[in-house]
Amino acid sequence: MNVAVVDTSLRDGMHSVAHQFTPEQVAEVAGALDRAGVSTIEVSHGDGLGGSSIQYGLAAATDHDLLEAAAGAVERASLAVLLLPGIGTLEHIQQARELGASVARVATHCTEADISEQHISWCRENGMRTVGFLMMSHMAQPAELAEQARLMESYGAHVVYAVDSAGALVPHSAAERVKALRDALECDVGFHAHNNLGCAVGNSLAALDAGAAWLDGSLRGLGAGAGNAATEVLCAALDRAGHDTGVDLFAISDAAEDVVAPMMRRPQIVDRGSLMLGYAGVYSSFLLHTERAAEKYGVDARDVLVELGRRRMVGGQEDAITEVAAEMAGRRVQEPTSVSA
């Protein structure tokens, strides 16, 4: 079976380096991925186009400069971008298309597919391979997830992904969600794994068996929390399972070892913080924010993560992290007081 492997080192991997990849580094990584035969390379701020901000993290370069660098380094691969409605706009996606991006991945929370209609429709109508991205998929039961996926397909998505943003799924629960999508859709199905429970590659293989044709990875597992399925490991496992990725295993291993590893600030491991992300079902990009808030207020980051999971916090609610940490320290975030006349 042919499998489309999408590498997200230069998008989801941005979380691991606080969005500080330079255009020169992007060109180096993109070129190595292209030479290895990866068909689709995702490039943008970790939170998608337009994500560079105080709330989500200021990037070292603009989306324009990052995409321009990647476009100049690839010869065969398609360039993809991620867009979260409410963070990125149609203007952002139009600019990305003009710079050479031909794949648009439009991401929403798993129960909010309806906010993607304008963006998915525009991308489809303007000739982009259009992907619906249902984030935090562990928070929806398979049948509900399938209903949301059908909306994205109706808007024009060529592919709809079940996205394990928190790394909270295990093989059987990943397979259940992918199967529900496969049974409900005419379009292709994809799966995006995080490794917070150490299941990223296993979940990806289970998703493939359940009907996914698109799988995501990143070199060295670079990504939020404990990272993603490592592209080089995923490709090796897929090859051993008898699937064709079109990726040269030696070349992708060299890209991971010789290009990305020296750029990493820390190893991408399942430590106690990222483990709790998966266990509590919390968005993987919350980890660094939580560690900083916990240190500031003198509390255990694991307690904060568990409470965030109990409150079912999702991407876009990063401000709540500081509030929870302050509450646990017996304080409250001080709100400005007003004086009435």
Domain boundaries, the chain: 4-263, 285-328
Please state, rounded to an integer, the average pLDDT across all residues of the chain. Answer: 94
Q: Kindly state the average pLDDT of the residues 264-283.
A: 92
Nearest CA among 37, 26, 103 for reference residue 60: 26
Whole-angstrom Cα Rg for the chain? 19
Residues recorded for the chain: 341
pLDDT band (50, 70, 90) for residue 288: confident
Q: Which residues pair with 72 in a beta bridge?
A: none
- Choosing from 15, 119, 138, 192, the catalytic residue is 15
pLDDT at 127 over 50: yes
Number of H helices, E strands in the chain: 13, 8
285-328: which CATH topology?
A: Helicase, Ruva Protein; domain 3 (1.10.8)
Q: Distances from the Cα of 155 to the Cαs of 44, 114, 168, 187, in angstroms?
A: 23, 9, 28, 12
The torsion defined by the Cα of 198, 202, 206 and 208, in degrees rounded to 10, comes to 120
Cα separation, 269 vs 271, whole angstroms: 6
CATH architecture of 4-263: Alpha-Beta Barrel (3.20)
If you average pLDDT over residues 121-136, what whole number do you get?
A: 98
Residue 313 has a pLDDT of 86
Of 242, 165, 164, 247, residue with least CA distance to 203:
164
2-52 per-position pLDDT tens digit: 999 999 999 999 999 999 999 999 999 999 999 999 999 999 999 999 999
Write the pLDDT tens digit of every residue in 66-114. Answer: 999 999 999 999 999 999 999 999 999 999 999 999 999 999 999 999 9
* Cα angle 63-75-22, degrees, rounded to a multiple of 5: 30
pLDDT digits (tens, 9 = 90+) for 164-205: 999 999 999 999 999 999 999 999 999 999 999 999 999 999
Q: Three-state DSSP class for 102? A: strand
Strands annotated E in the chain:
4-10, 40-43, 78-83, 101-109, 129-135, 159-163, 188-192, 214-217
Of 242, 240, 304, nearest to 272 by C-alpha is: 304
What is this structure's pTM?
0.92
Question: What is the Cα–Cα distance from 104 to 62, expressed in whole angstroms?
Answer: 18
Catalytic-residue membership of 158: no
What pLDDT score was predicted for residue 340? 36
